[in-house]
Amino acid sequence: MLSTLALTQSDLTLLMFIAFAAGLVRGFSGFALSAMVMASAIAILPPEALIPICWWLEMTASALMMRGGWKDADRGVAIGLVVGSTIGVPFGLALTQAVSVETSKIIALCILLILATSQLAKIRLRFLATRPGLYGSGFMAGLATGLAAVGGMVVALYVLAREAPARQMRGSLVLFLFVSSLTSLITLLWFGVMDWTATARGLILAPAVALGVLLGQRLFTPKLEPFYKPFCLVLLIALAGLSLIRTVT
């Protein structure tokens, strides 16, 4: 099995632990699975190998969370973000020819840090909660995905700015990630990134993610819902900060 996965036993064990922890956070927050895996597993596998693995892990999490996500989500918001993101991705990919990936990622992460910190400080970002802000945020998320692969965090920031109930915010993120994962599969297949090795790795790590998601969902209780938004904002700041450090060092 290890030869099929092209991994050592210690690497596989560590990846399973990372997948479980990322699933736990995804089960509670509704997002951040791929960001955590990319930030934590980069010492084991390069980003281009982790991206298709993350697709399988995201789909595993979405399959477990989709029922509640569909029921709780603001579907108009989620679909609007998907539309904007789908349009933005090609522009982001085109811009990579003019702007270095490192520079664009630093800019995107700095903006995320500033906006997330502003929300945590309870500074109202009213422009994010408007109709133009919906499609604009989706477009910017797609742009950020094409440029620096941080589009999911842009979407999370938008959803958290809407002052909606925690359950609705979480459901909207779950629905967005499910639909956008379906569209991203086309891109992965088109560029030949989704191969048999990546599929085998994703499937072997899926149970660890599933266990984490199930436990994380149990933590999302009415008692803890008031802490949902600050937790997610702190999580965004931590992930963006860690990614920024890795990018500049």
The reported pTM is: 0.82
Gap between the Cα atoms of 65 and 178, Å rounded: 9
**Above pLDDT 90, what percent of the chain?**
27
So what's the pLDDT on residue 81?
92
Pairwise CA distance, residues 193 & 187, whole Å? 9
- What single-letter DSSP state applies at residue 46? -
pLDDT at 108 > cutoff 80: no
31-51 per-position pLDDT tens digit: 888 888 887 887 888 877 888
Neighbours of 164 (CB within 10 A): 18
pLDDT value at residue 119: 75
Q: Are 120 and 162 in contact (CB under 8 A)?
A: no
Average pLDDT rounded to a whole number, residues 16-33: 92
Residue 131 sits at the vertex; the CA angle it makes with 128 and 134, to the nearest 5 degrees, is 55
pLDDT tens per residue across span 74-91: 999 999 999 998 888 788
Decide: helix, strand or coil at residue 102.
Answer: helix
Task: Answer yes or no: are the C-beta atoms of 90 and 146 closer than 8 Å.
Answer: yes
Q: Please, where are the H alpha helices in the chain?
A: 2-5, 9-29, 33-40, 47-72, 75-95, 101-120, 131-148, 151-160, 166-190, 196-219, 228-248
Distance CA 80, CA 82 (A): 5
* CA 80 – CA 141 distance, rounded (Å): 12
The pLDDT value given to residue 97: 64
